[in-house]
């Protein structure tokens, strides 16, 4: 057999569309919250593939589900139904407000389904004029043209020609602006129950209550984008369960598959009936292999011990980051919830989140950023206390090297 050529970072620039700029090292293996690159350097993973690998890498329950289903049946079209999809749908509807599930393959697709359902429902029930989507500045909902336009960063949606219409962006957490703008024409309000990509911004209680209230008043639907916050990330199975209100539509992806691509749009019977046969669909949506893996993930994540463990680990992160800050005075605040945490850089460190990410990588630690001024942590929900301690030591070394 011909020996395979060793893959090099340079190939990326040769054969990949340049919409990403990946780091130099090439990870080839992972186990739990440890990752190894081609050169056998070891890393502790505080990034979790951007809030995806919620049970770390190659969790035995996921490997077992993948292998078992992989030897049975990989794919069917939606002309057929399949066991893993129905089992997963039952479990998801048991775990939250929803009665009905639509399976997709990503967060953007789950959001696309949510937005299309909202528009369809409003048009059917109230007429074509009720089409306005209200969303929030700095929000992120994916990269299809509809979802990226609903997202609150024009830099991401500009330059692709005419945009989907009737979308309004208001400032997050601004109750006054919301009350003044919302009207009978509002079809839906779409929001993250904690903004992730936008910089780890928590909603105020007042804002959350006001959003639910104005939706009620104006017959508008509340869509929670829980692609990043969902599946245990905040210590609740879905973040809304810790906020005292219930959305009408919820989208979930990222940690749902724990590393296998899957997304889902969850909603009530009353809304779901408006997506009649032929109104929406997806070739891979509900794929048996994806659903079997997601079922294994949901089984572990929904256990009370797993969810309680998230708050425990959050406390360890907060303590460790506070200690680093005592020494180096680099953060203005630590924000977020559960294991969706952001360390905001203070005045002297503005714009240097990526420097921290690169320096951490050199120490053998994977972290993320959320914009230029926030270092983000979205590790496995079951990361060991020891890995947290060692990762924080590496972070401290990285910051010490930058502080010199």
Name the residues that contact ligand PLP, by CB under 6 A. Answer: 106-108, 111, 140-142, 192, 196-197, 225, 227-228, 253-254
Nearer to ligand PLP, 112 or 248 (CB): 112
Residue 227 assigned ligand-binding role = yes
Residue 140 assigned ligand-binding role = yes
Helix (H) or strand (E) holding 361: helix 353-362
Longest dimension (CA), the chain: 70
Distant-in-sequence, close-in-space partners of 342: CB < 8 Å, separation ≥ 6: 199, 200, 334, 335, 336, 370, 374, 375, 376, 377
DSSP 155-217: HHHTTSSSPPSSEEEE-TT-HHHHHHH--TTEEEEEE-SSBSTTT-BPPPHHHHHHHHHHHHH
Residue 45 assigned ligand-binding role = no
Residue 241 assigned ligand-binding role = no
**Quick check: 135 and 156 in contact, CB under 8 A?**
no
CA 323 distance to own-chain centroid: 28
Q: How far apart are CA 342 and CA 226, in angstroms?
A: 17
Q: How far apart are CA 113 and CA 262, in angstroms?
A: 13
Nearer to ligand PLP, 111 or 122 (CB): 111
Nearer to ligand PLP, 102 or 140 (CB): 140
Strand, helix or coil at 147? Answer: helix
Q: How far apart are CA 393 and CA 3, in angstroms?
A: 40
Give the shortest CB-282-to-ligand PLP separation in angstroms.
13
Residue 305 assigned ligand-binding role = no
b/e code 334-356 from CB counts within 10 Å (16+ = b): bbbbbbbbbbbbeeebeebbebb
Give the shortest CB-148-to-ligand PLP separation in angstroms.
9
Nearer to ligand PLP, 43 or 260 (CB): 260
Residue in the shown chain whose Cβ atom is closest to ligand PLP: 107
Give the shortest CB-372-to-ligand PLP separation in angstroms.
18
Count of Cβ atoms closer than 10 Å to residue 379 Cβ: 27
Nearer to ligand PLP, 34 or 141 (CB): 141
Distant-in-sequence, close-in-space partners of 198: CB < 8 Å, separation ≥ 6: 137, 138, 139, 140, 152, 153, 172, 192, 370, 371
Nearer to ligand PLP, 143 or 397 (CB): 143
Residue 107 assigned ligand-binding role = yes
Give the shortest CB-187-to-ligand PLP separation in angstroms.
19
CA 73 distance to own-chain centroid: 28
Give the shortest CB-192-to-ligand PLP separation in angstroms.
5
Give the shortest CB-52-to-ligand PLP separation in angstroms.
9
Q: How far apart are CA 203 and CA 363, in angstroms?
A: 34
Give the shortest CB-105-to-ligand PLP separation in angstroms.
8
Residue 226 assigned ligand-binding role = yes
Q: Two tokens at 34? A: 């440890």
Q: How far apart are CA 357 and CA 378, in angstroms?
A: 13
Residue 143 assigned ligand-binding role = yes
Strand, helix or coil at 278? Answer: coil
Nearer to ligand PLP, 253 or 341 (CB): 253
Nearer to ligand PLP, 111 or 234 (CB): 111
In the annotated binding site for pyridoxal 5'-phosphate, the residues are 107-108, 140, 225-228, 283
Q: List residues forming the annotated binding site.
A: 107-108, 140, 143, 225-228, 282-283
Known binding-site residues for N(2)-acetyl-L-ornithine equal: 143, 282
């Amino acid at each position: 057999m011909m020996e395979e050529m060793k893959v090099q970072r340079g190939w990326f620039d040769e054969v990949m569309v340049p919409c990403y700029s990946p780091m130099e090292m090439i990870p080839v293996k992972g186990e739990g919250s440890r990752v190894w690159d081609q050169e056998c350097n070891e890393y502790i993973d505080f990034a979790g593939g951007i809030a995806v690998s919620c049970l770390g890498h190659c969790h035995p329950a996921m490997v077992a589900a993948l292998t078992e289903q992989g030897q049975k049946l990989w794919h069917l079209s939606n002309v057929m139904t399949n066991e893993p999809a129905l089992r997963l749908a039952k479990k998801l509807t048991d775990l939250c407000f929803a009665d009905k599930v639509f399976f997709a393959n990503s967060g953007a697709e789950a959001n696309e389904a949510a937005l299309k359902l909202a528009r369809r429902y409003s048009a059917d029930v109230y007429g074509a004029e009720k089409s306005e989507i209200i969303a929030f500045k700095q929000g992120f909902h994916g990269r299809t043209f509809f979802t990226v336009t609903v997202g609150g960063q024009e830099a991401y949606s500009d330059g692709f020609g005419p945009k989907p219409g009737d979308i309004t962006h208001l400032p997050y957490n601004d109750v006054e602006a919301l009350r003044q703008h919302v009207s009978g024409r509002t079809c839906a309000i779409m929001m993250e129950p904690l903004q992730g990509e936008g910089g780890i911004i928590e909603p105020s209680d007042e804002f959350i209550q006001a959003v639910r209230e104005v939706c009620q008043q104006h017959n508008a639907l509340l869509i929670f984008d829980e692609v990043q916050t969902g599946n245990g990330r905040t210590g609740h199975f879905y973040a809304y369960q810790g906020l005292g209100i219930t959305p009408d539509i919820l989208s979930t992806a990222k940690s749902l598959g724990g590393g296998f691509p899957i997304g889902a749009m969850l909603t009530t019977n009353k809304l779901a009936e408006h997506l009649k046969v032929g109104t929406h669909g997806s070739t891979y949506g509900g794929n048996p292999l994806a659903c079997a893996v997601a079922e294994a993930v949901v089984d572990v994540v929904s256990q009370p011990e797993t969810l309680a463990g998230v708050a425990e680990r959050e406390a360890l992160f907060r303590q460790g980051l506070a200690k680093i800050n005592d020494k180096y005075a680099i953060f203005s605040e630590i924000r977020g919830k559960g294991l969706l945490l952001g360390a905001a850089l203070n005045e002297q460190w503005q714009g240097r989140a990526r420097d921290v990410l690169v320096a951490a990588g050199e120490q053998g630690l994977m972290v993320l950023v959320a914009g230029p001024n926030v270092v983000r942590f979205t590790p496995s929900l079951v990361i060991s206390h020891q890995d947290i301690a060692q990762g924080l030591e590496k972070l401290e070394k990285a910051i010490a090297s930058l502080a010199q």
